[in-house]
Amino acid sequence: MSSSEKQPPAEQSAARRGRPGYGQREILDIAVQVFIEHGYDATSVASLATRLGLSKSALYHHYPSKEALLEVALDEAIGSLESVLGEPGATSGGAGERLEHVLRGAVRVLVDKLPYVTLLLRVRGNSDIERAALDRRRAFDRAVTDLLRQAQAEGTVRADIDASVATRLLFGMVNSIVEWYRPAGTEGGAELAADVLALAFDGLRTR
């Protein structure tokens, strides 16, 4: 007798319907990829379940809604960026050194959590969850701008460029990484961060 003949019909159905071993993290990773590929608004719970090979009820067992998936994913991205601001390198030393640490940390987060940051950069504030994430992102940008102003005041970086403009330009460069960076390439996160800092501070440092 074959193994399928030994299984009760209900167990055979469950085996076909689901993929055993999916945990919350694996589901979240795949959901983020689907959101990026098709857009969050255009992605339905049914399409997520199909991509995962799960029933909708099995998906709901891990996450109560599509909105819950988005909220956790966006918190993963912005929370990781916020944590950089609390690291010792960002809270002690000269302002220029702290600014370098934060920029290096931002690149590290982007590389380590590339799909999550990509999703964060693509949300447009169409829901309360998105707007809350964007508010936190703007607060992060303001913290970097304040740090840049401190570096200007201490004479570490050029003061003839408006700090808010400089922050936008710096993160325009950093955020563009999501469009072309591939983890399988020859350059890792540390090397990429060094390249960003070299380009950024060669233009910002006083002569």
Mean pLDDT of 46-53: 93
CA distance 78 to 132: 10
Confidence band of 202 (pLDDT split at 50, 70, 90): confident
* Beta carbons within 8 Å of 176's beta carbon, 6+ residues apart: none
Which residue type sits at 37? E
Tell me how far the alpha carbon of residue 166 is from its chain's centroid. 22
Looking at residue 35, what is its pLDDT? Answer: 97
51 with 76: CB under 8 angstroms?
no
Categorize the per-residue pLDDT at 207 as very low, low, confident or very high, splitting at 50, 70 and 90. low
How buried is residue 126: exposed, middle or buried, by Cβ count under 10 Å (0-12/13-18/19+)? Answer: exposed
Same domain, 44 and 75: no
Which H helix or E strand runs over 122? helix 114-122
**Which of 3-7, 94-98, 122-126, 132-136 has the least mean pLDDT?**
3-7
Confidence of residue 15 (pLDDT cuts 50, 70, 90): very low
Q: 205 - beta bridge partners?
A: 157
Q: How does pLDDT run across 155-172, given as a tens digit for each residue?
A: 999 999 999 999 999 999
**pLDDT tens readout for residues 24-34:** 999 999 999 99
The DSSP 8-state label assigned to residue 157 in this structure reads B
Provide the domain limits for residue 125: 69-204
**Last-in-domain residue among 16, 33, 64:** 64
- CATH assignment of the domain containing 128: 1.10.357.10
- The answer to whether 165 touches 80, Cβ cutoff 8 Å, is no
Q: Do 169 and 199 share a domain, yes or no?
A: yes
Number of domains in the chain: 2
| Residue 84, number of CB atoms within 10 A of its CB | 21
* Same domain, yes or no: 52 and 119: no
Residue 68 has pLDDT above 90, yes or no: yes
The three-class DSSP label of residue 166 is helix
Q: Domain containing 31 — which CATH number?
A: 1.10.10.60
Q: Are residues 59 and 92 in the same domain?
A: no
Q: In this model, does residue 16 exceed pLDDT 60?
A: no
Task: Specify whether 42 is located in the same domain as 74.
Answer: no
Mean pLDDT to the nearest integer, 89-118: 96
| pLDDT at 17 (0 to 100) | 41
Using DSSP's 3-state secondary structure scheme, residue 205 falls into: strand
